[in-house]
Structure 1
Amino acid sequence: MISEKLIDSICKSLEKQLPVKETIAEEGELHIDKLLPYICVYRYKEKDPNFSGLLKTQASYLIVKDTVDITHLLECLSRTISTKLNAFLIIEMWPFRKDHDAELEIFCPKSKAPATIAAFKEGFDELHVIYPEINTTVHDTHARHPEHLQPLIEIDESKQSGALIIGLGIPTIYERPEENQLFSIFYRKFSSRFSEIVKRAVYEFIRVQTSNPFNHYLMLGKTNLDRITLEADSKLAKISEKMSFLLRTTPVNASTEWERFKKNKFQKTPAFNYRLIALDPELEKRKLYQLPIDKVDDPTLSFILRDKRLEIEKQLTMLEERSTHNFRFIGESLYGPIKQNVLEGAAAILKKFPEPMERSNMERADCHQFAEHAQKEIDYYKEHFTNLDLGLEIRKDVAGIMVSKTKLFVSENLSMDASRCDALVQHEVGTHILTYCNGKRQPLEQMYAGFAGYDRLQEGLAVLAEYLVDGLTKNRLRLLAGRVEAANSLVNGASFIETFNMLHHTYNFTQYTAYYITMRVYRGGGLTKDAVYLAGLMNCMAYLKNGGNIETLYTGKFNTNHVPLIEELLHRDIVKKPLLPRFLERDIAKKRLQKLKEGIQLTELLN
């Protein structure tokens, strides 16, 4: 029995548009993330945790023992929410399996909400993609509850309280309870798709039947992150940060070996040394799989965390296999194959620009001149991120320019083309530091620590910034293309010296540049990561041409394939809108951004 006092308290919280999370009689669960015109209900004799998980993907659900009378609670919820939004949808769900059939049943009044029923039917039919045998049957009936139970609310009473009831019989195709088997991978796919189907159908109900406060179905998702999600996210970020993967796979003697390579007339393969690995990969993997990611109910957040965990696991294995052939093979599975369009893009660049740009007459800038330019940009962002320690250091132990979190490190030996200063500032500060700062504003630590494969979009977006401020050069594009050719050469079995010779003799890179590209690709035993830079630029160009919003890309550090997830989190108000780089306000940037939206070729970026 649920007390009237508790029911009254719940409904008063909803009137104030506060979230509700209550334990109902006999270990029942009520969760209403925000004022929503629907609730999913599961009444059980013995709780099925996997079926409960389907409901927990929603922002509003009630899971309760079938002996508990929830009629008054639902009537109160219906009246309270209908007063605010004009209508209320109750979706009762129950698990069943008839002789291993995969029939999904919808029990509803067809004439009452045809758009809603059509959305359910269409969505469930699409499950054929992951389970071809499934089929959907719609029953036009007053009986919208399991056969062994009484109705949640009598039809006449539901009308008076402003509620519509729909019943869903869900076949448990993701398990074989008689064999105590759960098909976990399939269950996650099914759960994710099922969650979206429900939200789309509910959105149709809201659009037609209510005073709609939502302009997208994704806004129906959860807004508040639970403790399990936040803890898993935080611990995952700490493991990733502690690993320092790139630092531990970058040679410490690259400069020394260059001198030796040159002395040996480029005929003897360099012998690279690396930092000692100050962690035990096996222990770190154990920590990874102790994280309760399987208890994260939200399909989107669960996918993000699982994806990052898999990336970290592969990186830890690569550290164990450093300086062996296995290092390369695991890396290929991590970064993916070099796609044909990327290879074609690299070839097109090197064909159109077969020679490097002459440097002899260029005005040079030293570390202090570059730092002066960069400091102005850093000072601008410091005004917007007052709680973060943005800064710049000129150092001896840095080669060139690099970013670490909110710090820009500049080599005291830096000498660069002065005309490239602004482009590199926008690359490093206006992209890498800014996206880190924007990520720091978010509740998920992965937003600044980086989703799996975030380098691709980060570097693509950073090179895009160079183009937008009119600072992208022929040499820069050639370098990105050369990295792709070198990575492809590695994959095809070429030696260090063969790849070096290809870059120098075939593509006319200087000896040092050819060495530098080859060193990066062959480090650790072979690392194809450098191919993602050009791939990232091409992904950004395709994204903008296809109508993508550039603002979304500055929200944090993630990959292009994560953009739909980020947009979902933005709709759900989990992720905040980013501060945009101020260079986007420039006329030249606006004109060039419009060109990208209209669509241009890689080789046209320098026109």
Structure 2
Amino acid sequence: MIESITDSFIRKITRSLQRGKQVHRRLPQGGLIYIDRPLPFLVIFRHPEGQPDHPTADFLKANAAYIISHQERTEELRPLVQSIANAMADQFGAFMIIEVMAALPSTTDTDLFKVLGPEHQLPTTTETIVQELQNIKLSGIHTSVSTATNKPLLQEPLCLIPEEDLKKHSILMLGLQLRPIYKNDSTGKIYPLLLRTLREKVANAIKKTVFDFVNVQTTHHPVHFQALGRQAVNRVVWRIDKQLTSISDQFRFLLLVTPVNNNEAWEEFKKAKYEKAPTFHYRLMPVDADQLKRKLYNISIEKVDDPTLGYLFRDKRHELDKMLTMLADRNKPDFLYSSMQLYGTVDDQLLKIAEGILATVPESDHKSSPEIIPVSEFVAQAEQEIAFLKEQYPGLESGVDVRDDIVGLIVSKGRLNVGTDAKIPRHRAQALIQHEVGTHILTYFNGKAQPLHQLYVGSPGYEELQEGLAVLSEWLVGGLDHTRMRILAARVVAVYHLTKGCSFTDNFWRLKDAYHFDDETAWDVTMRVHRGGGLTKDAVYLRGLVHLLNYLKEGNELEPLLIGKIRQDYIPIVQELIYRKVLRPVPIKPRYLLDSSIQPKLEQLKSGISVFNLL
């Protein structure tokens, strides 16, 4: 920290910006200057004299260029702001300053925001910020915006740049006054959730306003308003990212909630003539859920001042908390309730689609039992597909493990696990390889290629989009048959009845009697849904497919969804981080995106088709 802002300090700051470098320095009395890179704008906050207002100052930290100082330091702050503004105006052709302030408790203003702008100059920029602030929606709070002249900012004692200098250097000065609804008037205590939400929304309103200004007034033309956000990520972000990943890596959730005695339990169930629920055994728990939770909540996510990354980390912590709760409650009734929170339930619309599939799709589109591919041959084909992906990205370290404690196929930590007794129809082999390798392994390593670990560990709720993509890939390579679609629908129906209190035996008999599944298929669906105490995850396959088809029908592209293990509503977040150059382009593409013979099917998806049209 420096004791005063000297001429030498100002020259160093200005020179750094002119050389294209980042500026991050302490100012007197705990002030801060942060400029991510040369940019045609600056956001300023000055603590009122004798009344430091740190909550309002925090609004600035979501921006890529800001100064936090004190009103009593205005005299020495003035030449610093002028030097930065003049240098950046010379570089970009114009410059914009937004000064943020909190309304004083004594003020009679009832509006949530007041914009202070020039009376006759650049009315469109003022209109933009007013419109963006009016668009902010807060539960139970009326968002009103008023406007006033910026004259108080151009006169003593607040003036940072004289009015004639603003005109000479094409600098626009705006003020943004907030009514501090995030603070209790009588106690001064902060409402942290409201502060966090409002801070993020105001930061976006500022970026959109600056975007409008720079595109019209300067030589700088960002492709999107989010491109004006911070590109540099401070060390605390990477530390927290690693801490969350470390906790996630300490347990393999799906393996821990999947029975290890599937074959024995099936024989036991058959012996009891399907009238007595089987006893399942699980792997020994490798972690103490309570200790891991303590570590989880000791992670200082509140130190992340980037709203987008802070949201990602809080979201992941919430998911890990739920998973650890489920592991602690494995084989107990509470397991189901946490599962419903984590993976959701079955709504009426999804149930209707599932029941429609079971009613209209023929029970089998093969007249005789399909040929089963030997496990060794399937493994060879899967390894060939992994080699194809590795050609695109040499950092892809994957493989196939054949295990006797696995039922069917499971991808875990970027590797494909195949059960020794896996019965895979030959006509479905390539579809399943695209499902497991072309989707799950591919997105794992696309995520690993990013600096942010959460993209390969998986964002909360990523399973729905993942499985939707995986099932769609089966259709794209021509392997999504009637039997597969009926099984996906059966899982939805079984999950629905599970959440309504249905027992294992009742769900099994419903699949057999009402929907005519053979014994082993009915067993497999029921086991998957009831494992651990009731796992609602299996509803995500069909739900993800339905949502994905709607997403593509709206004209959206498939490729951005493959950047890692994300959920659909993360797309704007991922896109923002790409604009900000925090994330990189997708390095690996699945075979179906590179195969010209599959393009007509991709075009068909854009025209809009339902799950019923896939068969």
User: What range is the shorter-chain TM-score in?
Assistant: over 0.9
Using the alignment, how far apart are the partners of 2:451 and 2:54 within structure 1?
28
Note if 1:356 corresponds to 2:364: yes
Using the alignment, how far apart are the partners of 1:339 and 1:223 within structure 2?
40
Cα separation, partners in 2 of 1:135 and 1:343, compared to 1, 3 Å: same
Note if 1:448 corresponds to 2:448: no
Note if 1:6 corresponds to 2:5: no
| Contact 1:553/1:563 (<8 A) preserved | yes
Cα separation, partners in 2 of 1:26 and 1:161, compared to 1, 3 Å: farther
Per the alignment, residue 378 of structure 2 pairs with 370
Matches within 5 A, 1:61-460: 61-68=66-73, 69-96=76-103, 97=105, 98=107, 101-144=110-153, 149-176=157-184, 178-358=186-366, 360=368, 362-460=370-468
- TM-score (norm. length: structure 2): 0.94
Using the alignment, how far apart are the partners of 1:399 and 1:516 within structure 2?
9
Per the alignment, residue 53 of structure 2 pairs with 48
Please list every run of 5 or more consecutive structure 2 residues that lacks an aligned counterpart in the other structure.
none
Note if 1:58 corresponds to 2:63: yes
SS in structure 1 opposite 2:220? coil
Query: Which amino acid is the alignment partner of residue 237 of structure 2?
Result: T
| Contact 2:117/2:147 (<8 A) preserved | yes
| Contact 2:150/2:175 (<8 A) preserved | no
| Contact 2:152/2:158 (<8 A) preserved | no
| Contact 1:390/1:407 (<8 A) preserved | yes
| Contact 2:389/2:396 (<8 A) preserved | no
The Cα of 1:195 is off from its aligned counterpart by: 1.3
SS in structure 1 opposite 2:177? strand
Using the alignment, how far apart are the partners of 2:250 and 2:156 within structure 1?
55
Using the alignment, how far apart are the partners of 2:235 and 2:43 within structure 1?
22
1:557-578 deviation digits (Å, cap 9, x = unpaired): 1111211111111111111111
The Cα of 1:378 is off from its aligned counterpart by: 1.2
The Cα of 1:131 is off from its aligned counterpart by: 4.8
The Cα of 1:240 is off from its aligned counterpart by: 1.7
Cα separation, partners in 2 of 1:140 and 1:467, compared to 1, 3 Å: same
Using the alignment, how far apart are the partners of 1:226 and 1:298 within structure 2?
9
Per the alignment, residue 614 of structure 2 pairs with 605
SS in structure 2 opposite 1:41? strand
The Cα of 1:411 is off from its aligned counterpart by: 3.4
SS in structure 2 opposite 1:127? coil
**Mean Cα displacement is larger for which, 392-401 or 313-322?**
392-401
| Contact 1:356/1:508 (<8 A) preserved | no
Using the alignment, how far apart are the partners of 1:99 and 1:307 within structure 2?
38
- 2:484 is matched with which residue: 451, 461, 476? 476
| Contact 2:443/2:456 (<8 A) preserved | yes
The Cα of 1:129 is off from its aligned counterpart by: 4.1
Please list every run of 5 or more consecutive structure 1 residues that lacks an aligned counterpart in the other structure.
none
| Contact 2:508/2:523 (<8 A) preserved | yes
Cα separation, partners in 2 of 1:249 and 1:396, compared to 1, 3 Å: closer
| Contact 1:82/1:162 (<8 A) preserved | yes
Using the alignment, how far apart are the partners of 1:286 and 1:148 within structure 2?
52
- 2:550 is matched with which residue: 531, 542, 549? 542
The Cα of 1:112 is off from its aligned counterpart by: 2.0
1:219-238 deviation digits (Å, cap 9, x = unpaired): 11111211122111111111
Query: Which amino acid is the alignment partner of residue 63 of structure 2?
Result: Q
| Contact 2:102/2:177 (<8 A) preserved | yes
Using the alignment, how far apart are the partners of 1:117 and 1:339 within structure 2?
45
Query: Which amino acid is the alignment partner of residue 62 of structure 2?
Result: T
SS in structure 2 opposite 1:144? helix
Using the alignment, how far apart are the partners of 2:350 and 2:220 within structure 1?
44
Using the alignment, how far apart are the partners of 2:123 and 2:442 within structure 1?
47
Query: Which amino acid is the alignment partner of residue 15 of structure 1?
Result: Q
Query: Which amino acid is the alignment partner of residue 259 of structure 2?
Result: P
Note if 1:521 corresponds to 2:521: no
| Contact 1:75/1:158 (<8 A) preserved | no
Using the alignment, how far apart are the partners of 2:128 and 2:610 within structure 1?
40
Using the alignment, how far apart are the partners of 2:493 and 2:203 within structure 1?
43
| Contact 1:232/1:293 (<8 A) preserved | yes
Query: Which amino acid is the alignment partner of residue 513 of structure 1?
Result: T
> RMSD across aligned C-alpha pairs, in angstroms?
1.9
The Cα of 1:391 is off from its aligned counterpart by: 2.3
| Contact 1:237/1:446 (<8 A) preserved | yes
Using the alignment, how far apart are the partners of 2:420 and 2:504 within structure 1?
30
Using the alignment, how far apart are the partners of 2:277 and 2:109 within structure 1?
61
Using the alignment, how far apart are the partners of 2:182 and 2:256 within structure 1?
41
SS in structure 1 opposite 2:249? helix
| Contact 1:110/1:117 (<8 A) preserved | no
Query: Which amino acid is the alignment partner of residue 10 of structure 1?
Result: I
Per the alignment, residue 551 of structure 1 pairs with 559
Fraction of identical pairs, as percent = 36
Using the alignment, how far apart are the partners of 2:294 and 2:594 within structure 1?
48
Using the alignment, how far apart are the partners of 1:301 and 1:180 within structure 2?
28
**Mean Cα displacement is larger for which, 125-134 or 81-90?**
125-134
Using the alignment, how far apart are the partners of 1:198 and 1:420 within structure 2?
52
**Mean Cα displacement is larger for which, 2-11 or 453-462?**
2-11
Using the alignment, how far apart are the partners of 2:379 and 2:124 within structure 1?
60
The Cα of 1:531 is off from its aligned counterpart by: 0.6
Cα separation, partners in 2 of 1:149 and 1:589, compared to 1, 3 Å: farther
The Cα of 1:359 is off from its aligned counterpart by: 6.8
Query: Which amino acid is the alignment partner of residue 234 of structure 2?
Result: D
Per the alignment, residue 37 of structure 1 pairs with 40
Query: Which amino acid is the alignment partner of residue 613 of structure 2?
Result: E
**Mean Cα displacement is larger for which, 23-32 or 258-267?**
23-32
| Contact 1:56/1:298 (<8 A) preserved | yes
Cα separation, partners in 2 of 1:542 and 1:19, compared to 1, 3 Å: same
| Contact 2:491/2:538 (<8 A) preserved | yes
